[in-house]
Each structure stands twice: as structure tokens, then as C-alpha cells.
Amino acid sequence: MDFGLTDDQREIQRTARELLAERARPDRVREHAEARSTDEQLWKELSELGWPGIAIAEEHGGQGLGQIELSILCEELGRSLAPVPFLGSAMAATVIQQDGSAEQRERWLGGLASGATIGALGAAVDGTAELVIGGREADVFVLIDEDGSGRILGAEEADVTPVDSVDPTRSTARVSGAGEPVGDGGACAGLGRALVSVSSELVGVCDRALAMTVEYVKDRKQFGVPVGAYQAVSHRCAQMLLETEKARATAAFAAWTADADPEALAEAAAMAKVCASSAAREVTASAIQAHGGIGFTWEADVHWLYKRAQLDAALLGGAKRHRARLAAILAERVGAGAAA
């Protein structure tokens, strides 16, 4: 048993972190957030590096790597809050790859892998998906209906209304339209992987919020000592680490499951989303609190994390919804045990 990354995976993580530390610096993220604009230059660069196609099959022009590698990139992009439409595009590609017909895969995956096509994925209620992340610039939408089935809509056939969300580091839109069913129109198995990708992004958000907070409370002095020396503050930070590590462990397990033990993915993905959604809300809220007054200002960067956390926590269902799914799995298991 080994929870560590392989050398190759470590290398992906290292280069991604270094690149984003340089290209998605806080001041640049702020600039785009305040303008509510996508960093097209960065998206182009990431596309040239093959990021959008990391988990897309080689036959469609991707790198053919697994969910673990995709999750590594999601985590780093979450950490940096890079204003690029990566997550939505990756989730849309995941579902098309996993559940789409041969024709749909052929039509969309090449562009999604190269980054020339931008995808977005949203959950629809009564046919309409609200706050679809990356909705403004997407070329193709995957909408998931209440029964878990999906629809694919090219941008030209979709009804797209840009709506500003609280998170200005990414665009959002209301999307509806008929489109065509994904694959045979059944429930999309690719959603499990999509949940893992969001959870991984949230792990990055948590990790960054914690790191910023630790740095701040070591430095900030009140009553003559760093505030991080007070247990009311340091124990809050310890709690942030606990939540972050829970989210990290469950997301890593789910990512591994996606490739190695797909039958266990539904449960593992639900657990990952439960942990990541609640961790992200708590950890980023704690980050604001531990920053004190400055944390509540527009000037400090912690609120971008808090806002990204809120959107991602709700994306494809929050902790409560996934706990309900887990309870249903537990009930089934008890039923099966009783029947056996």
C-alpha cells in the first residue's frame, strides 16, 4: 500500500506548481477577477503544454493519463485560483469520454484535448443549469439532468445568459437548450470522476487558505506576541489542517479508485465531495476569521478563496446531498446484508 505519487506524477505536480506560481501570481489573479476576465494567455500556454488533454485518450489527441494526474492539475489550479476554464472543460471532457457515443467522442474530444474547444459542465434543474462555470466562453456544454443523464449542446444551440457569481475568478452563465443525449441517454458514470476533479480543486483551495493563514498569524502581533501563539488561533489552524487532510485523503482515494477500482467510485467520490465541500467552506471561512479585520477587506486575497470554495462546494451537489447519497448506499448495503 502506498499513498505516494510516482516520480512522473511528482514531476507533473512540481512543474504545475512552479508554472502557476509564476503565471498566476496573486496580483494577476486579482487583475482578472476585478475585470471578470479569463486569462486567455495563460489558457493558451496551458493548452500548449497539453493540460486540458491530460486525461483524454491518446487516440483523441490527449495524454491518456489517469484521474490521479488530472486531480494533481485540478489541485494546483485551485491553489493558484488561476482564472482559466480548466475545471469545467475537464469535467465536460470526462463525461463525453466516459459516457459519450463514438461519434460524440470523435466530434468533441480532440478540441477539448488541445484546448481549442472549451467545455463546461452544469447540473440542470427543469432543463436549465444555473451558474455554469466557464459558461461565458464555453464552446460545448454538458448538462446533467436530475436523473443523472446528460445532454450535449454546442454553444450555438445553447441558450446562454452570462450571470455574475460571487466568484469573479471564473465566468458563469445560465444555460438551457435541448441538445442531444450523452451516449445512450442513461445516467452518466463520468460524473464520479467529475466529482473527484472538483474535490481535488477544493483541496488546493484549502491548502492555500491554510498556508496563507499560517503565514499571517505567525507575523501579525497583538499584545506583544504573534497571534498564532494564542491557542484560540492556533487550535483553529490545527482544525483547518485536519479538515484539509481529510479532504486530501478522501480525494486521493477517490482518484485512485476511478482508475483502479471503478465499482467503488460512486461511494468514494461522494465521500470525497462531502469532505471537500465542507472542508473548503470551513477552512476558507476560518482563514478570513484568523486574518481579522484585514481578512474582511477586498484588499486581502483570502476572499477569492472563500468565493471559489462556495461555488465549488455547491457544484454537482454539496455535502448534504452527497451524504444523502451515502445514506442510500448504506441502506442498500444493510438491505443486501439482510437479504443474503
Partner 1 sequence: MDLTFSPQEIAFRDELRGWLAANQPDAAPVDGGEDAQYQWRRDWQRRLYDAGWAAPAWPVEYGGRGASLTESAIYYEEIGRSRSPLAANTLGLLLGGPTLMVWGTDEQKERYLPPILSAEEIWCQGFSEPEAGSDLASLKTRAVKDGEEWVVTGQKVWTSGAQYSKWCMLVARTDGDVPKHKGLTYFLMDMEQDAVQVRPLRQITGEDEFNELFIEEARIPDANVIGGVGNGWKVALTTLMNERAGLGFALQIRLRQLLDDTIAVAAERGLLEDPVYADELAELHTRCESIRLLAWKGLTDVERYGQPGPEGSLVKWLWSDTNQRLTQLAVDIVGPAALTAGTSWSYEFLRARGNTIEGGTTEVLKNIVAERVLGLPRLKVAV
* Residue nearer to partner 1 on the CB measure, 4 or 293: 4
Rounded CA gap, 26 and 76, in Å? Answer: 14
Contacts of 173 (CB under 8 A, 6+ apart): 131, 132, 135, 136, 138, 160, 161, 162, 163
* Residue nearer to partner 1 on the CB measure, 110 or 318: 318
Rounded CA gap, 90 and 99, in Å? Answer: 14
* Residue nearer to partner 1 on the CB measure, 225 or 340: 225
Rounded CA gap, 115 and 53, in Å? Answer: 8
Rounded CA gap, 232 and 254, in Å? Answer: 33
Rounded CA gap, 266 and 21, in Å? Answer: 33
Phi, psi of 119 (to 5 degrees): -110, 165
Give the cell for residue 118: 472549451
* Residue nearer to partner 1 on the CB measure, 110 or 230: 230
* Residue 262 near partner 1 by CB under 8 A: no
**Candidate ranges 32-40, 137-145, 193-201, 247-255; the one touching partner 1 (CB under 8 A):** 247-255
8 A C-beta contact, residue 91 and residue 67: no
| DSSP 8-state secondary structure symbol assigned to residue 296 | G
Q: Give me the least distance between CB of 49 and partner 1, in Å please.
A: 23
* Residue 6 near partner 1 by CB under 8 A: yes
* Residue nearer to partner 1 on the CB measure, 260 or 294: 260
Q: Which residues pair with 151 in a beta bridge?
A: 143, 181
Rounded CA gap, 275 and 325, in Å? Answer: 14
Q: Give me the least distance between CB of 235 and partner 1, in Å please.
A: 4
**Candidate ranges 50-58, 121-129, 268-276, 309-317; the one touching partner 1 (CB under 8 A):** 268-276
Give the cell for residue 193: 470522476
Q: What residues between 204 and 233 interact with partner 1 by CB under 8 A? A: 210, 214, 217-218, 225-226, 228-231
Q: What residues between 305 and 334 interact with partner 1 by CB under 8 A? A: 320, 323-327, 330-331, 334
Q: Give me the least distance between CB of 45 and partner 1, in Å please.
A: 28
Q: Give me the least distance between CB of 253 and partner 1, in Å please.
A: 5
Binding residues (CB under 8 A) for partner 1: these are 1-6, 9, 68, 210, 214, 217-218, 225-226, 228-231, 234-235, 237-239, 241-242, 245-246, 249-250, 252-253, 255-256, 260, 271, 274-275, 320, 323-327, 330-331, 334-335, 338
